[in-house]
Structure 1
Amino acid sequence: MSDLSKKLQNLSPEQRELLLKKLQARKKKSTAESRPETIQPRPDRESYPLSYAQERLWFFDQLVPGSPLYNISAAVKFYGPLNAAHLEKSINAVVERHEVLQVFFRTEKGAPVQHKAEGLFIPLTMENKDARSLEEIAAAEAQTPFDLTRAPLIRTRLIRLDDQTHVLMLTIHHIVADGWSMGVFINETARFYRRFNGDTSVTLEDLPIQYFDYAWWQKNAADEKKLRKQLDFWSSELKGMPTLLELPFDHKREAVQSFKGSHHHFSIDAATTKRLHELSRQAGTTLFITLLAAFQTLLYRYSHQDDFGVGIPIANRNKKELETLIGFFVNTLVIRARCQGDISFLDFLSRVKKRAFQAYDHQDVPFEQVVEKVQPQRNNQVSPLFQVMFELQGDALAGLNFGDLTLENIDFETGTAKFDLLLIM
């Protein structure tokens, strides 16, 4: 019999009961600490605080007013008997459901604040196509800036090609939405559209919180100890990393970033895609990590630089209550590429996987705070910490159900670029 067993046997019934209560209390505390922290509605429901990400875009707008750089635009072609009135009603139902789509921004006491516009309505006027191509019309929409001091920060346009073919153009400022939000927006628009067309089986659950609740939580109730620990990680991870990746451009950098750019489209054949999936399975990683490692290898080959950072977007919705919200949640992580040594691609892939997973574990810190902590040398020619970004996207229209309508995405040129190079696959 162990010493512990002897001690337990010698306890009186009252002592055993007290010990049991202490153990149960400790278990409850441990369970509570391990349970993910939920975001609750903010105490002051009349205030509309900005998140850290929103503040960054607001400051950018003060420096470069009237820039379309942070417009998020989409053009979708509808085939079938479209009910334009129901589509307009559906869009406005989504706007009413998500308060962040109703805001405008002001400066009060030297700081940015956002206010809700009362009685906001988004008109959807049908117009016939003019002499321009759809791509040209969509590009013009994408390049038309918003005034952040005036609501709404969302525009819609419906172009009629014939009785059975229409194109919806949607533009939202990034300060109130992100890529994930665009998916939420079009999905909820589809569900409202089916409901207004008579499908009584369509339901939408009430939102547990609004974006403003997240913004308030981020600044007032987030786990500061956890965030400080994550900041320390990024400070160590990026210490000594060159903050400029020198790619072999065919012209000199401009004195100040112009943010002008264009797209180049390419495709990867089915056989290569299959081999990439097989390589990912063999290496025990994801297609995203494999493509990121290949991209970093390519950048190393062309720059002859063995230490640099590549930015990747992260949805930053690791709480269930954030999954169905529209708002600016997306965060940016820097994945450092260390290409030193004579190693195989599989070994390098393993290193990239490790660094990426470590970055995922420390994704809660806003990128703005990482930049402030690391304090890279700043200049007006490049973005801080990285100038190249990688992103893997899915099919935005996959699974959408607009009843008897068929949808097709329209690709078009926006004419803008936030970085030296952005690879989207």
Structure 2
Amino acid sequence: MPDRTDPTATTAPGDPTAASVPLSLTQEQLWVLDRLAPGNASYNTTMMYRLDGPFEADVLARALEQIMSRQQMLRTAIVDVDGVPRQTVAEDVAVPLTVTDLTHLPEDKHETQAQEHLRQAVHRPFDLRRAPLFRVELIRLGAERHLMALVIHHIVSDGWSLQVLLQEVADLYASLVTGTEVTLPPLPAQFADYARGQRERLAGPRGRALVEYWTKQLAGAPRGLGLPTDRPRPAEASFRGDRLVFQVPPELRGRLNTLARQTRTSLFMVTLAGFKAMLSRITGDEDLVVGTPVGNRDRPEWSALVGYFADTLVMRTDLSGDPAFAELLTRVRTTALGAFAHRDLPFRTLVEKLAPERAVSRNPLFQVMFILQNIPARRRRLELSGVTLTRLDDIRSTAIFDLRLDLFEFEDELRGQLEYSTDLFDRPTIERLVTQYLALLTDACSAPERRLSELSLGATAFTDGFNDDLGEW
């Protein structure tokens, strides 16, 4: 058996009526979903790294301890007070670091065993009633070879939070190893302040104006998208999923950016328009609703906080009349600008106001998500005082939506990942969708004046970019 050190000891919160505050409205949505499907790990978010160099696990634990003392969300649990969720901060919580030593195994067994440990860490659900709602899994493969997974529940974090946490780990780890003093800037606020402020803002005229805008924007929106699936939709979603990683050819990436400049749009708008055009072609639908995340850190005091600030925007686009791709870009641009200008109505509130017919087999309002992230070079590799961290692909096997397309824009490449529900789709279908998407984008860049029906969905040699492995970012 491997030598396993686990100082994780979840701490139950104290009196839930004391020192507790309301959840934000976005947090409340996740709490409701957790109550509907307890033990579901779909809202675990993960960052995984390979560590090369003389890494010290005890120093990492000390760095995490200091970060937990300043970032209240890393000590927060969600409790039920007479049917109302509240967040409460535990004063004393053990650092959730697990170290697994595999050096006793033959080297050819390392990868298999390491991936199994990481999969268990990634897919193990959190009990929202117990803090902390994050954990770190460290696997030792050699004196200077480690793998690390940071797993945190979405209710206390978002994508920006992961970067905040990683940077603070890097700063404090280096300080502790070298004996130099690093003072992290004091936090002017905590997430609880944001949660209270959000409810206050939405109780006034701004809240009423947002509801009016979105009610009008989504009036008569379709209940679902007619995706051609390999199997009928089950009565209840299992949240089982998989993902296909692919590369956007460098030449196509350059042409996408050129088209964005020529049309006064953005790479987000061009790639979203292409995604919607492809979906329209394969479904026959002309009224498409797709979700996309938004950060909502619009005040400087929120920038250094760990917390769930992110929310979801609904992007509805009219594709009727077989428009030219350039015309579709104009429509997508109008939709996106309007949505971002009215971004501060929580998705939960929107669902409550629209009251769509609900079903446990699908998400309300939309079933397909689109995301474009710009990843600075410093986030691909990070130095920890002589240790190089290289980010690896996620290994989760869950899917919240029918389809979720993530595009990652680096300085030197554009990378994609199509996550899909395995209740609905087989792998060959997803490979075909990615190939059709890239083919359509290629044709649209060549002739944006062509109508959507004229854009090619023909098979092209993009499959070389498909990848299942723990590749580097």
Per the normalisation by structure 2, the TM-score is 0.77
Counterpart of 1:110 (choices 56, 73, 83) is 83
Q: Which segment is superposed worse, 99-108 or 134-143?
A: 134-143
Q: Is the 8 A contact 1:139 1:412 kept in 2?
A: no
Q: Which segment is superposed worse, 360-369 or 86-95?
A: 86-95
Q: Does 1:419 align with 2:401?
A: yes
Structure 2 CA distance for aligned equivalents of residues 303 and 347 of structure 1: 20
Q: Does 1:389 align with 2:369?
A: yes
Letter in 2 for 1:419: F
Q: Does 1:187 align with 2:206?
A: no
Q: Which segment is superposed worse, 242-251 or 138-147?
A: 138-147
Query: Which residue of structure 2 lines up, in the alignment, with residue 17 of structure 1?
Result: none
Counterpart of 2:228 (choices 221, 245, 248) is 248
Secondary structure of the residue aligned to 2:296 is coil
Secondary structure of the residue aligned to 1:197 is helix
Structure 2 CA distance for aligned equivalents of residues 406 and 177 of structure 1: 25
Structure 2 CA distance for aligned equivalents of residues 291 and 127 of structure 1: 41
1:34-74 superposed Cα distances (whole Å, 9 cap, x missing partner): xxxxxxxxxx9933321111111111121111111111122
Query: Which residue of structure 2 lines up, in the alignment, with residue 84 of structure 1?
Result: 57
Letter in 1 for 2:327: D
Q: Which segment is superposed worse, 375-384 or 172-181?
A: 375-384
1:122-177 superposed Cα distances (whole Å, 9 cap, x missing partner): 14343213643433332221110111112211111211111111112211111111
Structure 2 CA distance for aligned equivalents of residues 380 and 266 of structure 1: 31
Q: Is the 8 A contact 2:272 2:370 kept in 1?
A: yes
Query: Which residue of structure 2 lines up, in the alignment, with residue 276 of structure 1?
Result: 256
Consecutive unaligned residues of structure 2, counting only runs of 5 or more, are: 1-16, 408-473
Q: Alpha carbons of 1:337 and 1:221: their partners in 2 closer, same or farther (altered >3 Å)?
A: closer
Structure 2 CA distance for aligned equivalents of residues 342 and 404 of structure 1: 56
Letter in 2 for 1:109: D
Counterpart of 2:39 (choices 61, 66, 70) is 66
Q: Is the 8 A contact 2:289 2:316 kept in 1?
A: yes
Q: Alpha carbons of 1:65 and 1:209: their partners in 2 closer, same or farther (altered >3 Å)?
A: same
Secondary structure of the residue aligned to 1:114 is strand
Structure 2 CA distance for aligned equivalents of residues 249 and 121 of structure 1: 45
Counterpart of 2:355 (choices 363, 372, 375) is 375
Q: Alpha carbons of 1:386 and 1:175: their partners in 2 closer, same or farther (altered >3 Å)?
A: same
Counterpart of 1:316 (choices 281, 288, 296) is 296
Consecutive unaligned residues of structure 1, counting only runs of 5 or more, are: 1-43
Counterparts of 1:319-398 in structure 2 under 5 Å?
A: 319-395=299-375, 397-398=379-380
Length, aligned pairs only: 382
Q: Does 1:402 align with 2:384?
A: yes
CA drift at 1:206: 0.6
Per the normalisation by structure 1, the TM-score is 0.86
Structure 1 CA distance for aligned equivalents of residues 53 and 334 of structure 2: 48
Secondary structure of the residue aligned to 1:235 is helix
Query: Which residue of structure 2 lines up, in the alignment, with residue 303 of structure 1?
Result: 283
CA RMSD of aligned residues (A): 1.9
Query: Which residue of structure 2 lines up, in the alignment, with residue 293 of structure 1?
Result: 273
Structure 1 CA distance for aligned equivalents of residues 394 and 297 of structure 2: 28
Structure 1 CA distance for aligned equivalents of residues 131 and 187 of structure 2: 22
Answer 1 or 2: higher relative contact order, Cα 8 Å, separation at least 6.
1
Structure 2 CA distance for aligned equivalents of residues 410 and 136 of structure 1: 15
Pair member with larger Rg: 1
Q: Is the 8 A contact 2:78 2:86 kept in 1?
A: yes
Structure 2 CA distance for aligned equivalents of residues 45 and 325 of structure 1: 23
Q: Is the 8 A contact 1:102 1:152 kept in 2?
A: yes
CA drift at 1:324: 1.2
Structure 1 CA distance for aligned equivalents of residues 293 and 336 of structure 2: 12
